[in-house]
Amino acid sequence: MADYVIAPPAIAAVPVRGGGSFPVRRIFCVGRNYAEHAREMGHDPDREAPFYFMKPADSMILDGGDMPYPPMTKDLHHEMELVVAVGAGGIDIAESDALKHVWGYCAGLDMTRRDLQGEAKKAGRPWDMGKGFDQSAPMGELMPAGSFDPSKGKIELRVNGQVRQSSDLAKLIWSVPEVIANLSRLVRLEAGDLIMTGTPEGVAAVVRGDVLEGMIEGVGTVRTRIV
């Protein structure tokens, strides 16, 4: 047994549909992976190389848990996303083999302190405090991959019952296999990694009391209330 000088941190995990938990190692996020979202953020949606940022594994809120409105922001935004759970690691994964490395999928929210992100962009600084803050990643229940096809399916987010984001996974600029293959050339993917694949158009601010309910056809739902 290791002789730790402090108690080791708890293992972050996502509940699995049907029982058990999926331990989470890292959370990678793909930026601007839907054309209309890229346009609404003021960028060219043509197939530029994908880029990534990260959230800490312990930033997750499990499905149904409340999300405290975070400090140091007045502009908290929702971003509804398909999340891919890696079950088998690898480097230089071929696109044709990429889905063999997927354990499952869930619905997730990339919550964003948009004002802090915008200030960091203008200053040419990292986005970490705009994206990777505490409790910034509500996650739904993880569904084993089975025969699910991540190339299509409705993705939607409602706030207080009103549709805010509605699109289809078919509109991803970089598909799930392409993202896995590309990311595995930059880092060695490992079992336990999550990949948030990007959000469609319609991102907007939320306030305390708002209830966010997201769904992905064939995958599941995610729900949180801002408190």
Task: For residue 165, tell me if it sits in a domain.
Answer: yes
> Does residue 88 lie in a domain region?
yes
Pairing of strands 137-139, 60-62: parallel
In 151-191, DSSP assigns E strands to 154-159, 162-168
| pLDDT tens, the chain, 227 aa long | 679 999 999 999 999 999 999 999 999 999 989 876 556 555 666 667 899 999 999 999 997 899 999 999 999 999 999 999 999 999 999 999 999 999 999 999 999 999 999 999 999 999 999 999 999 999 999 999 998 999 999 999 999 999 999 999 999 999 999 999 999 999 999 999 999 999 999 999 999 999 999 999 999 999 999 99
Residue 3 lies in a domain: no
Contact partners, residue 127, CB within 8 Å, separation at least 6: 53, 117, 120, 121
Nearest Cα to Cα of residue 100 among 218, 211, 189, 5: 189
Residue 38 confidence (pLDDT): 55
Q: Which residues contact 6 (CB under 8 A, 6 or more apart)?
A: none
| Cβ–Cβ < 8 Å for 132, 54 | yes
Q: Give the total number of structural domains in the chain.
A: 1
In a domain, 14, yes or no: no
Instruction: Confirm whether pTM is higher than 0.85.
Output: yes
* Amino acid identity at 53: F
Sequence-ordered list of residues with C-beta below 8 angstroms from that of 198, at least 6 positions apart, any chain: 29, 30, 31, 32, 33, 34, 37, 81, 172, 173, 174
Residue 153 belongs to a domain = yes
Q: What share of the chain is helix, strand, coil (3-state, %, to 5)?
A: 20, 35, 45
- Give pLDDT tens digits for 152-174: 999 999 999 999 999 999 999 99
Residue 106 C-alpha from the chain's centroid: 9
For residue 4, is it within any domain? Answer: no
Q: Which residue has the tokens 């505490």?
A: 134
Structural domain of 82: 20-225
Q: Is residue 1 part of a domain?
A: no
What are the counts of helices (DSSP H) followed by strands (DSSP E) for the chain? 4, 16
In this structure, the strands spanning 52-55 and 80-86 are unpaired
- Decide if 137 contacts 27 (C-beta within 8 A): yes
CATH of the domain at 153: 3.90.850.10
Instruction: For CA atoms 94, 171, 82, 46, give the dihedral sign.
Output: positive
